[in-house]
Structure 1
Amino acid sequence: MSAIASPTAAPVIADAAVSASKPAKPAKKRGPLHYVGVAVSAALLMFVAIVALLVVAIPAATGSTPYTVLTSSMEPKYPAGTLVVIKPVSADSIGVGDVITYQLKSGEPEVVTHRVIAVNSAVGGERTFTTQGDNNDIADAAPVREVQVRGELWYAVPFIGWVNNVINGGTRAVIVPIAAVILFGYAGWMFVGSALERRRKRREAEAAAQA
């Protein structure tokens, strides 16, 4: 008696499921205008910072006073629009060749910035100064007394004087805090944006490595 073999079921081959990894999103390319904008923004930020430093911070820290040259009397070295920062000095230290700022009349706000061309001794030992603009043909009419002198030229920056006029007086109390907030805000935005960009690139690199 022959044994009857029961048919065996054909082996079922299961297809392995292949999970297709999602391709990493390509990084967004930045055009040249983006980099131009970044460069312009950085330049403006630096300009505002330098102006604030020269016009506000340094004079305030040293007790100096910024003035704006309004006429051509001190050309060519100090043309109209030049910012001159005047530091307080003793009248005894002022000599021929120094540039000083003095009141036209003692106690009044109107001032002139001219060069000393002679030092004189008045009655009673008080020194007086003969001044003249570098671009003027004759000396100033009246000698300058010690009490009129506001100080001696410390440093000068061309063209920034017009900016000083805009932010002078009561306007400065409003503009300076606003400029400070803008500067710190912009710096913070640049820092956060840079950190987020680095984080995004790191995640894309990790995703590409796991693919």
Structure 2
Amino acid sequence: MTADVIAFPRGGREGTAAPRHRGEVRRPRRSTADRVVSGLLTVALLVGAVAFLALGVGPRVLGYRTATMLTGSMTGTIDPGDVIVSVPKPADEVAVGDILTFHAPVPDQHVETHRVIKVRHTADGHTIIRTQGDANAEPDPWTATIQGDTVWETVHVIPGIGTVIRALRAPVVRDVVLWVALGALVVLGSSLIWRRGEQEIDPEPAPEALDDAALGRLAEDLEDADFAATFAARYQELLPQRLNRISTALGSEARTPDLGAALDASLSLKVSSTTVGARELEQLASVIELSVRRRDLEAARALADDLAQAARRADRALATYLEQRAS
């Protein structure tokens, strides 16, 4: 891509017809199957993100806990495979009917989630509870003394998700998920590359290098033919600078692009080219502007490479116009 100021030849009456050049990039239409797959992938990603935030980030940030129900002792309220969400509750506020998660006062001290059926507060400040599973016919065979100032009370139940989590933790499933994920990444990457290669360029009829009628209209609107000629000469003089601004703003492998400057430069070239009737440059600048807005630097840089030749044709046409007017 040309980055230096371009010097154009002055004068001469070489032909001004421009060859066909690339117009706006036209991307292939997506099939129904592509849209369905894309939608399913989007939903899967959203579900995965929500699950990660709720089960992985939330407990560390918001202070709640999650656990998977493994037994059927609370069936009907909490089924096996359901995930429970628990929050801290002051021990002295525990009441009959609360569902608490606690270490059972037995040798293995396993974690239990049962409903409180009886509460007693002792004179020395301890809270003693009796519990029972909703699906059990009898109360638990122990009396539990709450240790500490808080307990964990179940406030929400997420049906079934725990079964999925437990299944994903199985070694075989982990291996399958890993390879499927790697395969999906390869397929997705290949698809993106293939689609990029499939992008089509619409050849458009080449606009004339200079529409003399535009300068004629400018002279009529201002009622000053000399000003129109002066404007055309000034445009001709500033054209290399305008091209250089676009080239520099778009950057290269060695330079970071400045999208704001690229947008301003392409707009400046488009507007000024429209005023003098440099249709080819106006069209190229318009497509570069659109590419910059889409952040498609590859397309913008490719089109910027065409500016130099288009500018030379416009420069020769302007020189011819000014010579004819002066004669």
In the alignment, is the contact (CA less than 8 A) between 1:120 and 1:129 conserved in 2?
Answer: yes
Query: What is residue 159 of structure 1 aligned with on the other side?
Result: 160
1:2-151 paired onto structure 2 within 5 Å: 27-105=27-105, 110-122=110-122, 124-147=124-147, 150-151=151-152
Note the C-alpha offset of 1:88. Answer: 2.2
1:164–1:89 CA distance, 2 compared to 1 (3 A):
farther
Q: Which has the higher contact order (CA 8 A, sep 6+)?
A: 2
Cα distance between partner residues in 1 of 2:53 and 2:37: 24
Note the C-alpha offset of 1:77. Answer: 2.3
Cα distance between partner residues in 2 of 1:134 and 1:209: 79
The alignment partner of 2:89 has SS state of coil
Cα distance between partner residues in 2 of 1:34 and 1:109: 53
In the alignment, is the contact (CA less than 8 A) between 2:19 and 2:206 conserved in 1?
Answer: no
Note the C-alpha offset of 1:63. Answer: 2.7
Cα distance between partner residues in 2 of 1:128 and 1:157: 29
In the alignment, is the contact (CA less than 8 A) between 1:24 and 1:208 conserved in 2?
Answer: no
Give the % identical residues.
24
The C-alpha deviation readout for 1:151-181, integer Å capped at 9, x for no partner, is 111322112223454688xx9xxx9xxxxxx
Q: Give the helix-richer structure, 1 or 2.
A: 2
The alignment partner of 2:95 has SS state of coil
Note the C-alpha offset of 1:19. Answer: 7.1
Cα distance between partner residues in 2 of 1:119 and 1:31: 64
Amino acid at match of 1:159: G
Aligned residues: 171
Structure 1 unaligned blocks of 5 or more: 1-16, 176-181
TM-score by length of 1: 0.63
Cα distance between partner residues in 2 of 1:105 and 1:65: 21
1:164–1:120 CA distance, 2 compared to 1 (3 A):
farther
RMSD of aligned alpha carbons: 4.0
The C-alpha deviation readout for 1:10-51, integer Å capped at 9, x for no partner, is xxxxxxx99788999975332221011011101110110111
Cα distance between partner residues in 1 of 2:78 and 2:31: 43
Amino acid at match of 2:112: V
Structure 2 unaligned blocks of 5 or more: 1-16, 175-180, 208-327
Cα distance between partner residues in 2 of 1:147 and 1:113: 16
